[in-house]
C-alpha cells in the first residue's frame, strides 16, 4: 500500500500536466487527491506492464506447489508454481520449451519441480524509478484523471498522446541496460548483411 507521501511528486506532475493546482500528497483531504490515490496504482501498473523494464525485472526460481482443490487438475499441465504477489507481467518461463499457462495466481506447466521465471515486478517506492519513467507515470496518471478534471476534449486527447510519447522516451532510455541478445533466449545469429558478404 502506498504511504501518504509515496507518489506525491508523480501526482503533482500529473496535475501540472493537466494545468491544474498541484496536490502535496495523497493524504490531502481533497477530491483531486482521492482521485489521484485511486488511479495511481492503475497508472503505475499500466506503465510497468508495457515493457520489460530493467529496473523492475526480476529472475527467480519458484518451487513446485500443490494446486488448491478449487482448481481442477489439467492432465496436459499437471505441475504448478505459485506466482509472486508483486508480479505485474510475466516475461519468460525457463527452461525454454516449457509448455505453460497462467491460471489465477499459479503457473501450470508440463515440467516437474521448480521453474525459473523472469517477470516485471511492482515497485512502490517512486524514488527508485528512473526520471523518464516517473514522467511517463505522471502523464499516464494525468490521462486517467483527465475525464473528470479536464473539461477540454482536445486537452484530454493531448494528454493521451503525451502519455504515449513519454513512455516511448522511457523505453528508449532503458534499452541500453544489457548486452545485445535475442529476446527469446535462443543462440545469437548473424545479421543478413554480414552473412551475405562472407
3-class SS of residue 133: helix
Nearest 5 degrees, angle CA 105-CA 107-CA 113? 125
Taking CA atoms, 95 is separated from 5, 66, 109, 123, 157, in Å, by 41, 20, 11, 26, 43
Cβ atoms 137, 129 nearer than 8 A: yes
Non-local CB neighbours of 56 within 8 Å, separated by 6+ positions: 48, 88, 120, 121, 122, 123
Structure confidence at residue 181 (pLDDT): 61
Q: ∠ CA(186), CA(192), CA(196), 5° rounding?
A: 135
The residue extents of the domains of the chain are 8-52+124-174, 57-121
**Which residues lie below 8 Å from residue 172, measured CB to CB, with a gap of 6+?**
none
Mean pLDDT of the chain: 86
pLDDT, position 25: 59
* pLDDT digit string, tens, across residues 59-86: 999 999 999 999 999 999 999 999 999 9
Query: What pLDDT does residue 188 have?
Result: 65
For residue 54, give every residue at least 6 positions away whose Cβ sits within 8 Å of its Cβ, in sequence order, or none.
174, 177, 178
- Give pLDDT, residue 61: 97
C-alpha grid cell for residue 50? 508495457
* pLDDT at position 149: 80
Q: Which of the residue ranges 118-122, 177-181, 186-190 has the most confident prediction, judged by mean pLDDT?
A: 118-122
Count other Cβ atoms within 10 Å, centred on residue 162.
18
- Percent above pLDDT 90 for the chain: 62
Q: 88: Cβ–Cβ under 8 A, 6 or more apart, which residues?
A: 45, 48, 49, 56, 119, 120, 121, 122
DSSP 188: P
pTM of the model: 0.81
Higher-pLDDT residue of 63 and 180 is: 63
pLDDT for residue 189? 64
Given a cut of 70, whether residue 57 has pLDDT beyond it is yes
pLDDT (0 to 100) of residue 1: 45
Backbone dihedral angles phi then psi of residue 172, each to the nearest 5 degrees: -60, -40
Nearest partner of 136 among 29, 13, 23, 41, judged by Cα? 13
Residue-wise pLDDT tens digits, 86-141: 999 999 999 999 999 999 999 999 999 999 999 999 998 888 999 999 999 999 99
**Does residue 192 register a pLDDT over 80?**
no
pLDDT of res. 5: 40
**Half-sphere exposure for 31 (CA within 13 Å, toward CB):** 4
Cβ 78 vs Cβ 46: under 8 Å: no
Amino acid at each position: 500500500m502506498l504511504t501518504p507521501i509515496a507518489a506525491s511528486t508523480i501526482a503533482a506532475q500529473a496535475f501540472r500536466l493537466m494545468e491544474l493546482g498541484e496536490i502535496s500528497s495523497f493524504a490531502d483531504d481533497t477530491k483531486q487527491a482521492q482521485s489521484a490515490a485511486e488511479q495511481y496504482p492503475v497508472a503505475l501498473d499500466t506503465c510497468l506492464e508495457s515493457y520489460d523494464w530493467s529496473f523492475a525485472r526480476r529472475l527467480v526460481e519458484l518451487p513446485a506447489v500443490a494446486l488448491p482443490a478449487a482448481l481442477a487438475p489439467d492432465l496436459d499441465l499437471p505441475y504448478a508454481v505459485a506466482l509472486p504477489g508483486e508480479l505485474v507481467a510475466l516475461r519468460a518461463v525457463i527452461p525454454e520449451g516449457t509448455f505453460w499457462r497462467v491460471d489465477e495466481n499459479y503457473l501450470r506447466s508440463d515440467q516437474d519441480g521448480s521453474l525459473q521465471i523472469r517477470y516485471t515486478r511492482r515497485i512502490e517506492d517512486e524514488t527508485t524509478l528512473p526520471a523518464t519513467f516517473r514522467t511517463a507515470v505522471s502523464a499516464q496518471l494525468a490521462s486517467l484523471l483527465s475525464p473528470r478534471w479536464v473539461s477540454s476534449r482536445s486537452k484530454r486527447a493531448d494528454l493521451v498522446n503525451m502519455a504515449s510519447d513519454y513512455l516511448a522516451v522511457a523505453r528508449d532510455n532503458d534499452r541500453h541496460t544489457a548486452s545485445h541478445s535475442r529476446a527469446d533466449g535462443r543462440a545469437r545469429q548473424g545479421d543478413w548483411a554480414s552473412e551475405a558478404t562472407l
